[in-house]
Amino acid sequence: MPFTDWLKNRTQKTQEAANKRAVPDGIWSKCTICGKTIFQKDILNNFHVCPECGHHFGLSGHERVMMLLDDGSFSATEEDLWPKDPLGFIGSKPYRQSLNNAIETTGRREAVTTGFGRIKGNKVGFGVLDFRFIAGSMGSVVGEKIARLFEAATSERLPVITVVSSGGARMQEGVLSLMQMAKTAATVEQHNQAGLPYISILANPTTGGVLASFASLGDIIIAEPKALIGFAGPRVIEQTLDEKLPKGFQTSESVLNHGMVDMIVPRDELRETVGRLISGLSPVSSDQNLGDQVV
Amino acid sequence: MSRRYYIDFERPVVEMEDQLEELKKLPEAHKPDIIKEIKFLEDQITKLKKRVYKNLTAWQQVQMSRHPDRPDFVRYLDLIFDDFIELHGDRTYGDDLAVIGGLAKLGEQNIVVVGQEKGKDTHDRLRRNFGMPHPEGYRKAIRLFKLAGKFNLPLITIIDTPGAFAGVGAEERGQAQVIAKCLSTLSSLPTPTIAVNIGEGGSGGALAFGVCDRVFMLENAYYSVITPEGCAAILWQDKEKAPEAAEALALTAKKLLKMGIVDGVIKEPLGGAHRDPKSTAGKIGEILKKTLGDLLSKPVDELVALRYERVRQFGVFSDRQESEIIT
């Protein structure tokens, strides 16, 4: 019996029990998109992609590193930076509290992880934004670490790969967050003028000030399937226009059609594709690269 | 007398000013006791204006920055620059009227000037999409930025937008992409650059014109990561809370100067730039000339390096082992 059929049977049998209590953590997961209940191991073994509908679940920085970089090749940089609350911002809740919650739930100091590692043998600078940390938003620390990553990569003459999943600039640090857009864009531009490749990967969702700064400045821009990608959020646009948005608007597939990204790459092919792109962007395949790929 | 537009908190001032006008129109206006009365009222108005305008809240300043009578970019273009030759189009899709740019003279100096234009009256505002550029506006701007770089012409940008336009076409034609390109282009442009925020500095759409060697703001202008209304909608699901959001966002010229985000604040007449556009324009012109003189005395390579340092240092964070925010 195919797995999916077995799953359907199994799901029906456990329906009653499932109705009475929450899906046990660590065994079963319910896909947030198709609603199907799936063996969690099957999601994990499938690059955190729903085997039923192909939905790409969000990933932590660590998971991204594991998935994209060669085993054990990654070393993190700038781990000592902590966020501050420069404005003493109090919205619906104090910014400090949001930070504390995020630090507690993610076990990370900020929404960003940066460092150096290898992809298919190629040494690269690597940065990733984690949506679980205040919507992957860019405040001073995110901007600073991205800026330092590009600066270090420029001086070491290395390509940079970033994977972004972000709601945009972090409101709670006010105009300082806005300035991170200028800061990151300026460092990407230096890296660019040094003739070095930058590959930007957009995951679900990528919007606002992150898309409108470094994430859009890649020599090559890749989107994960069905990601929301846009400058203004769909709700904002709906309010501005007072009408329903076209179907599929701001999805990876739509932004590809409008010429805004180079390609859509499913997660299980990402490592292979990025590796080939980096090699392809070098004028000649260096011996070192070849050697590493043979291994 | 025809009703001028006024913001709620300005009402006492405007009412007293109307009284004064009526008094002056009286046939007996030349009589000593009426003259005395006029003098008295004028003194009262001055005092009241000081009280009302000297300590505006963040939200009141945002309201001032959007005052319908506030001078727009075109007004300053006439008052500050000479021999303006407008250049149109982005060479790709269209000519966005929310962005105006071209060649001009500042004193004897040939320059390129590019600014965001909200429009002077209702008809004009509709045409110019209330100063909210589409991607073609930013593409036109990038073209003119590069023109300035190519011919070593100093670039002056004028910021006055609630934000880049949020719409289907704007998204499909790459709003995020062109804003990012504005930032990177300006960050390395090989010519002196100065930005002046004359009113609204709404988010990335404003910053796209703001990565310059020097950035100035008019006293009642604001500069923010998000509009107060947008912030209030996200935080409290209630746009009516915009005044609280304005306060929390620290978006006033004074605060931004203190934080080192802008290099100078240009004073406005009591009651706002619209009460005396000529003197405001005069002040902007003076500062532009002085700043340009300073910038032109430096080699371009050094300017670009300093501009990089300028944006590079923005941000407040801690690099200690221990967090300062964990409570």
Decide if pLDDT at B122 tops 70: yes
pLDDT in tens, A140-154: 999 999 999 999 999
Closest CA to B206 of B266, B142, B162, B147: B162
CATH number at residue A204: 3.90.226.10
Using CB atoms, which residue from B173, B180, B236 is nearest to A92? B236
Strand partners, B105: B82, B110
Decide if pLDDT at B112 tops 70: yes
Which chain B residue's Cα is nearest to A146? B312
**Together in a domain, B44 and B117:** no
Which chain A residue's Cα is nearest to B203? A178
DSSP helix/strand/coil, A90:
strand
Beta-strand relationship, B109-116 and B155-161 = parallel
Backbone angles phi, psi at A200, to 5 degrees: -105, 125
For the packed helices B300-312 and A175-193, what is the interaxial angle rounded to 10 degrees?
Answer: 140
For the packed helices A175-193 and A140-155, what is the interaxial angle rounded to 10 degrees?
Answer: 10
pTM here is 0.91
Count the neighbouring beta carbons within 10 Å of the beta carbon of residue A72: 8
The reply to whether residue A231 touches residue B164, judged by beta carbons under 8 angstroms, is: yes
**Together in a domain, B157 and B302:** yes
Whole-number Å distance between alpha carbons of A129 and A162: 8
User: Which residues touch A4 (CB under 8 Å, ≥6 apart)?
Assistant: A52
For tokens 């934000």, the residue is B163
Count: domains in chain B: 2
Whole-number Å distance between alpha carbons of B226 and B245: 10
Which chain A residues are closer than 8 Å to B256 by Cβ?
A: 175
**Together in a domain, B297 and B175:** yes
DSSP helix/strand/coil, B21:
helix
Residue A223 within a domain: yes
Q: Which long-range contacts (CB under 8 A, 24 or more apart) does A56-60 make?
A: A56/A203, A56/A204, A56/A224, A56/A225, A56/A226, A56/A227, A56/A266, A56/A267, A57/A32, A58/A131, A58/A132, A58/A165, A58/A203, A58/A204, A59/A130, A59/A165, A59/A203, A60/A106, A60/A108, A60/A130, A60/A132
Which chain B residues are closer than 8 Å to A149 by Cβ?
A: none
Whole-number Å distance between alpha carbons of A175 and B285: 26
The predicted pLDDT at position A62 comes to 92
Whole-number Å distance between alpha carbons of A210 and A138: 7
Contact between B251 and B222 under an 8 Å Cβ cutoff? The reply is yes
Decide if pLDDT at B227 tops 90: yes
The CA distances from residue B70 to A66, B67, B281, in Å, are 55, 5, 12
The predicted pLDDT at position B5 comes to 83
Residue A179 within a domain: yes
DSSP helix/strand/coil, A123:
strand
Question: Which of B17-26, B193-202, B304-313 is predicted with the least confidence, judged by mean pLDDT?
Answer: B17-26
Q: Where are the alpha helices (DSSP H) in A130-286?
A: 140-155, 175-193, 208-211, 234-241, 252-257, 267-281
pLDDT in tens, B37-60: 899 999 999 999 999 998 899 999
Average pLDDT score over chain B: 94
H or E stretch covering B199: strand B193-202
Which chain A residues are closer than 8 Å to B326 by Cβ?
A: 100, 103
Please, which pLDDT band fits residue B81 given cuts at 50, 70 and 90? Answer: very high
**Together in a domain, B235 and B191:** yes
State the count of interchain CB pairs (< 8 A) between A and B.
Answer: 205
Domain that holds residue A64: 59-281
Q: What is the ipTM of this complex?
A: 0.94
Domain that holds residue B92: 61-312
Residue A74 within a domain: yes
Residues of chain A below pLDDT 50: 3, 6-7, 10-11, 13-24, 287, 289-291, 293-295
Contact between A11 and A37 under an 8 Å Cβ cutoff? The reply is yes
The predicted pLDDT at position A18 comes to 36
**Together in a domain, B78 and B140:** yes
The predicted pLDDT at position A41 comes to 85
Residue B324 within a domain: no
Residue A52 within a domain: no
The predicted pLDDT at position A234 comes to 86
Residue A227 within a domain: yes
The predicted pLDDT at position A21 comes to 37
Please, which pLDDT band fits residue B327 given cuts at 50, 70 and 90? Answer: very low
The predicted pLDDT at position B33 comes to 87
pLDDT in tens, A215-241: 999 999 999 999 999 999 888 888 777
Whole-number Å distance between alpha carbons of A233 and B56: 32
Please, which pLDDT band fits residue B3 given cuts at 50, 70 and 90? Answer: low
The predicted pLDDT at position B28 comes to 83
What distance lies between CA A281 and its chain's CA centroid?
Answer: 22
**Together in a domain, B48 and B148:** no
Which chain A residue's Cα is nearest to B235? A92
DSSP helix/strand/coil, A161:
strand
**Contact status of A44 with chain B (Cβ, < 8 Å):** no
Count: domains in chain A: 1
Decide if pLDDT at B27 tops 90: no
Residue B288 Cα, gap to closest chain A Cα (Å): 22
User: Which residues touch A96 (CB under 8 Å, ≥6 apart)?
Assistant: A85, B325, B327
Please, which pLDDT band fits residue B150 given cuts at 50, 70 and 90? Answer: very high
The predicted pLDDT at position A2 comes to 54
The predicted pLDDT at position A294 comes to 47
**Together in a domain, B27 and B148:** no
H or E stretch covering B103: strand B99-106
In this structure, what token pair is assigned to residue A246? 């076209």
Q: Which DSSP state fits A277? A: H
The predicted pLDDT at position A22 comes to 37
Contact between A85 and A110 under an 8 Å Cβ cutoff? The reply is no
pLDDT in tens, B248-278: 999 999 999 999 999 999 999 999 999 999 9
The reply to whether residue A173 touches residue B324, judged by beta carbons under 8 angstroms, is: no
Count the neighbouring beta carbons within 10 Å of the beta carbon of residue A207: 26
Average pLDDT over residues B207-221: 98
**Together in a domain, B92 and B236:** yes
Strand partners, A94: A90
